[in-house]
């Protein structure tokens, strides 16, 4: 059986050592290269042509999203699994939209990373169990946000951008009372107890970027 050749990309040496020890115990797996930033990752990808890339998101050299896009620009069939401390579904959605084949949170059990590699090698996409649950939950939130009226979505977007009710009213040419009435309706529709929870739900649903 041919070895599955793996490129590790993470700016923390201890994390890479953990991956290397874990994968070294798996039959048929071989770590062929490591990189600690986006630029080094692209160079290693070009030199070693790995079967699978394990990619962190938060690191120097343009970050993981840029590295994913650059690798796929070089080879559209690249198999990239993002392994990240970020557990929000918005990060997983962005990674998959950028072309990653999988997303595994760093809080997942080690066997989930092994499973993700074999799943991606079989031609399928994969999420770690915790991210799959997060996707299911936020899909419902996405549907709820999608059910808002255009005016309600406009108000929610401005609120998520940090604007006060008075500023939102001025920006949209509405009265402050109308904005507050709409915010009450939005809170009721989304099951939010306050404006902070509204913003969080909007972020989780992918309606606005997480901060």
Q: What is the CATH number of the domain that holds 178?
A: 1.10.10.10
Is the confidence at residue 116, as pLDDT, over 60?
yes
Position 209 in a domain: no
Share above pLDDT 90 across residues of the chain, in percent, rounded to a whole number: 55
Lowest mean pLDDT among 20-34, 40-54, 67-81, 156-170: 156-170
pLDDT greater than 80 at residue 97: yes
Q: Please tell me which residue, 157 or 77, carries the higher pLDDT value.
A: 77
Higher pLDDT, 133 or 187: 187
Are 203 and 91 spatial neighbours (Cβ–Cβ below 8 Å)? no
Domain annotation covers residue 50: yes
Position 137 scores a pLDDT of 64
What confidence tens digit (pLDDT) does each residue in 9-37 have? Answer: 999 999 999 999 999 999 999 999 999 99
Query: Which of residues 208 and 184 earns the better pLDDT score?
Result: 184
Q: How confident is the model at residue 69 (pLDDT cuts 50, 70, 90)?
A: very high
Number of structural domains the chain divides into: 2
Share of residues in the chain with pLDDT > 70 (%): 89
CB within 8 A of 126, min separation 6: which ones? 81, 101, 102, 103, 104, 115, 116, 119, 120
Assign 48 a pLDDT band (cuts: 50, 70, 90).
very high
Q: Of 135, 165, 189, which residue constitutes the final position of a domain?
A: 135
pLDDT for res 211: 39
Cα(139)–Cα(134) distance, integer angstroms: 8
Is 168 among the domain residues? yes
Q: How confident is the model at residue 138 (pLDDT cuts 50, 70, 90)?
A: low
Instruction: Answer whether residue 43 is part of any domain.
Output: yes
Domain limits for position 151: 147-204
Question: Is 186 a domain residue?
Answer: yes
Mean pLDDT for the stretch of residues 87-94: 76
Give the number of other Cβ atoms within 10 Å of residue 93's Cβ.
Answer: 16
pLDDT surpassing 80 at residue 194? yes
Average pLDDT for 44-72 = 90
Report the CATH number at residue 110. 3.40.50.2300
Confidence tier at 139 by pLDDT (50, 70, 90)? low
pLDDT score of 210? 46
pTM of the predicted structure, to 2 decimals? 0.67
């Amino acid at each position: 059986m041919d070895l599955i050749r793996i490129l590790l990309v993470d700016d923390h040496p201890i994390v890479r050592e953990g991956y290397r020890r874990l994968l070294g115990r798996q039959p048929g797996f071989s770590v062929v290269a490591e990189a600690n930033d986006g630029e080094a990752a692209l160079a290693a990808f070009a030199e070693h042509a790995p079967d699978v890339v394990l990619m962190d998101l938060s690191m120097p050299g343009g970050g993981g999203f840029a590295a994913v896009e650059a690798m796929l620009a070089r080879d559209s069939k690249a198999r990239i699994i993002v392994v990240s401390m970020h557990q929000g579904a918005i990060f997983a959605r962005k990674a998959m939209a950028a072309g990653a084949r999988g997303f595994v949170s760093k809080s997942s059990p080690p066997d989930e990373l092994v499973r993700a590699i074999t799943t991606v090698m079989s031609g399928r996409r994969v999420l770690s169990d915790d991210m799959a649950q997060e996707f299911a939950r936020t899909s419902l939130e996405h549907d709820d946000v999608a059910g808002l009226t255009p005016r309600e979505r406009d108000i929610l977007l401005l609120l998520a951008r940090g604007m006060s009710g008075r500023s939102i009213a001025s920006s949209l040419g509405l009265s402050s009372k109308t904005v507050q009435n709409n915010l009450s309706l939005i809170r009721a529709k989304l099951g939010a107890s306050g404006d902070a929870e509204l913003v969080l739900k909007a972020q989780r649903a992918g309606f606005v970027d997480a901060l």
